[in-house]
Amino acid sequence: MTRVVLLGAPPGPISPPPHGGQPALPAAITLRSLPGAPSAYDRLLAQAAALDPEPTTIARPGDAAAYHRPYGRVVESRDVAGDLRALADAVEGAEENLLILPADSLVHDELIYQITKAKRGAIALVVRQERQEQDENEPPEEEVPIEEAEPEIGDKVIEGLPQRTRIGRSRIISVGTAYHAVTRPNAALLGPLHLHQRHLQTLAEVARELADMAHLFGPEDDVTELLVLGLVRRGVSVGRRGRRDLFFRRVRSQAEADEALAEMAGYNEDRARLDNAVKGADGFFTTFFVSTYSRFIARWAARRGLTPNQVTLISIALGLLSAGAFATGTRWGAVAGGVLIYFAFVFDCVDGQVARYARKFGVLGAWLDATFDRFKEYAVFVGLAVGATVSGQFGDGEGVWTLALVALALQSVKHLLDFSFGAANRRKAPVPLPTLDLTVADDRPLREALEQRRASRSTGVRGLLKLWTKAGKFRPVHWARKMIVFPIGERFAAIAITAAFFNPRVTFLTLIVWGGIAATYTLTGRLLRSLA
């Protein structure tokens, strides 16, 4: 379960009044085009209740009555300091993850799901400053290098929120307020914040410390902004993500809500959910020759009630049929085996996509998927070796059986290396980020500490690994790195192609040579990362 806290007091004005008049409570804003025409608050509360049966709403005393519902809890707070203390009280000692949402949020269910299921221990939704097009008749504006830039308390606004956040490639670097200056802010925090339970004690501590500093903040400073400021300065790595192909907007008036609903209707939430069902880190063959259409099979299967485990059984059956076809030792058997093993892999991808699309996860399914991937692969090895023996093309087939055993042993060792390194790496403590006291007015000390940390990690083995990581931004290098490790998609493709067009000896030699290169590359990388 995830604990959900809704913030009922929006930040004060830093931008012009909302289109359509003065700000209104989300409980008084009607979403007219949705079934039942719920209020913005009622819709959000229902979304929150899907995660937490008793979500907490923090609201001003004069507004609390508008937020009371048959379910959920309303906590009254007179000001930002009270909001922060109420939030600290709500999460202290909690054993669940935490999701914080502004009560004026209009958001897709899928976006909430993706935020709460992110692997990062802390993640915030941000909107980045748009790049302004330069007039070709004007000389380009010279920008001071980031290391020479002075911290500032920016007055720029994005979607009614102050642009006082500096984001990097994957995380939030620094956050500002009316008191805290930031070096070249380039984004605004939209409001949603998700935290793993291990960070809740830190959150409670910084919330109380910030509450004591509330007199330094301006009316435009949002509670989420203050919390992320505190977390970042305590060394918590807060990841950042944008809305991507999903919708999020904070609505402050009926006119804004009407416009937002019209905009939201232009988004295909189901397609975004389907795309999210496909793993983003798949190999070249899987990405371009399977996932381009397997997601639609997954949606078809999910809508007809097929479970991921049932799809896994289909994949296993196709894998065994493929092994049987290879075992015939005939050319047509080899072709049929190649086609069957391809579709066995397709359905191996589909089972995970069904699980992610239909939200059906289980320990049994994860175990079946991991175990029977190896079972299918090794059964095909046996089928190919039996086929080589039956065909008589290789005498008694002893040489092919030897190659099969070498290929099987090589893959087993590679899987063992991957599993053992993953288990060891999870026990490795992350390198701590620099910290900075909340009373420091600007982020220069934090920026300097980050530069020193970056410099120390750019030498020796770490520097070599960093260069190799940076090389991944070039697409050919990215896909070459994906293919060299010989993932299951590439292995099944190699088996299907070489068995259908050549013979089992070529198949096993391909598996051994490519598998040996992959094992060497993987082992070298594991050793370097262990030494870094």
Question: For the chain, how big is the Rg over CA atoms in Å?
Answer: 28
DSSP symbols for 362-431:
-HHHHHHHHHHHHHHHHHHHHHHHHHHHHH-TTTTSHHHHHHHHHHHHHHHHHHHHHHHHHHHHHHSPPP
Q: What is the dihedral of CA 344, 346, 350, 351, to 10 degrees?
A: 20
pLDDT score, position 460: 75
Buried b / exposed e over 253-271, threshold 16 CB at 10 Å, is: bbebbbebbeebeebeeee
How many helices (H) and strands (E) the chain has is answered by 19, 15
Per-residue pLDDT, averaged over 12-19, amounts to: 68
User: pLDDT by residue (tens digit) across 508-532?
Assistant: 999 999 999 999 998 888 888 777 6
In angstroms, the Cα distances linking 80 to 26, 244, 461 are 18, 30, 47
pTM: 0.89
**What domains are there in the chain, each with its CATH number?**
2-130+189-268 (3.90.550.10), 277-531 (1.20.120.1760)
User: pLDDT by residue (tens digit) across 54-67?
Assistant: 999 999 999 999 99
In angstroms, the Cα distances linking 314 to 185, 243, 357, 360, 366 are 52, 36, 18, 17, 15
**Amino acid in position 325:** A
N- to C-terminal Cα distance for the chain? 37
Lowest mean pLDDT among 136-145, 234-243, 477-486, 518-527: 136-145
Q: 């990062």: which residue's tokens? A: 120
pLDDT at 490 over 80: yes
pLDDT score, position 142: 55
User: pLDDT by residue (tens digit) across 322-353?
Assistant: 999 999 999 999 999 999 999 999 999 999 99
pLDDT score, position 470: 80
Percentage of residues in the chain with pLDDT exceeding 90? 70
Local confidence band at 132 (pLDDT 50, 70, 90 cut-offs): low
